[in-house]
Amino acid sequence: MGRGKIVGTIQPRSSTATFKKVAEILRTGTWELPTDGKYNGHGGPGRYLEDLLGIKANNADAPDLGDWEIKFHGGNSLLTLFHKDPEPRGIIRAIVHDHGWDDSKGRISFRHTIGKETSRGFYVVNEGDRIVIRNRHKDAAVPHWDHNTLFNAFAAKLRRLIVVEGEVLKNPRRVIYKEATAYWEPDIKGFMQAIADGLFYVDFDARTQKGRGSAIRNHGTKFRIKVEDLSIVYANKRKITSHES
């Protein structure tokens, strides 16, 4: 079992070097997560993986490790690929006030994941050169993204993506990094079709702020997907094995 060992602090630039670093982590198998609080919560295993690879915290729209973005995926949850709020300006405020509902704290909330048509009547449609969210019951606030805007948001950070899949164990809290897959060359047609077919999930998370009138707290609009559907939006993929050298 690995215990706090950092595989490398210099970010490798070539694919060969990156794959080798990931393979070293896969070979170790089980890692015991440090108990200093940094790795608590749902994001802990992914944060630990980044530290093992020597990745510095990066909120920019650029890959984590040289040319590669690294993501951890555990369990059956959706994989968040990127964030991109819709147009036009001010549309999030309009969505909350037109389509939101009261939450338990007396705020107006719009926390809703839209793939195929939802129980609240929301659905995604590909209209010409735009991806649009519509509602069958109240087509008031209509958020949209231009194809180029969405694809650029996706490709800028995720032109090359490595997904490390694993399992989190308790008592003590450990993570097993089991397998990794590299994806590259985003396919714009496959990407747009996946959104239109409901294979991407558009996740809104915004609400009013209690006591501040119509002020909005927006946690960002996420584009998420099932790991098994990633091959639809990339031209190439291959497994990274523990035997890479």
Q: Say how far apart CA 22 and CA 66 lie, in whole Å.
A: 13
pLDDT of residue 36: 83
Sign of the alpha-carbon torsion through 227, 231, 237, 241: positive
Q: Say how far apart CA 123 and CA 133 lie, in whole Å.
A: 6
DSSP conformational letter for 40: -
Question: pLDDT (tens digit, 0 to 9) for every residue of the chain, 245 residues total?
Answer: 554 444 443 333 568 888 888 999 999 989 999 888 788 888 899 999 988 988 876 555 555 566 889 999 997 789 999 999 999 999 999 999 999 999 888 899 999 999 889 999 999 999 889 999 999 998 788 999 999 999 999 998 899 999 999 999 988 889 999 999 999 999 988 998 898 888 999 999 999 987 656 789 999 999 999 999 999 999 999 999 888 76
- The phi and psi torsions of 70 (rounded to 5 degrees) equal -110, 130
The fold of 2-240 is Alpha-Beta Plaits (3.30.70)
pTM of the model: 0.85
Q: What is the dihedral of CA 39, 43, 49, 53, to 10 degrees?
A: -100
The residue type found at 231 is S
pLDDT of residue 218: 95
Residue pair 162/179 in contact (Cβ under 8 Å)? The answer is: no
**Residue 118 structure tokens:** 């939802």
pLDDT of residue 7: 40
pLDDT of residue 63: 58
Q: Say how far apart CA 126 and CA 85 lie, in whole Å.
A: 17
Q: What is the dihedral of CA 23, 27, 32, 34, to 10 degrees?
A: -30
Cβ atoms < 10 Å from Cβ of 82: 18
Beta bridge partners of 234: 186
Residues 6+ apart with CB under 8 A from 102: 108, 109
Cβ atoms < 10 Å from Cβ of 29: 15
Residues 6+ apart with CB under 8 A from 175: 30, 31, 33, 44, 45, 48, 49, 74, 166, 167, 168, 169
pLDDT of residue 138: 86
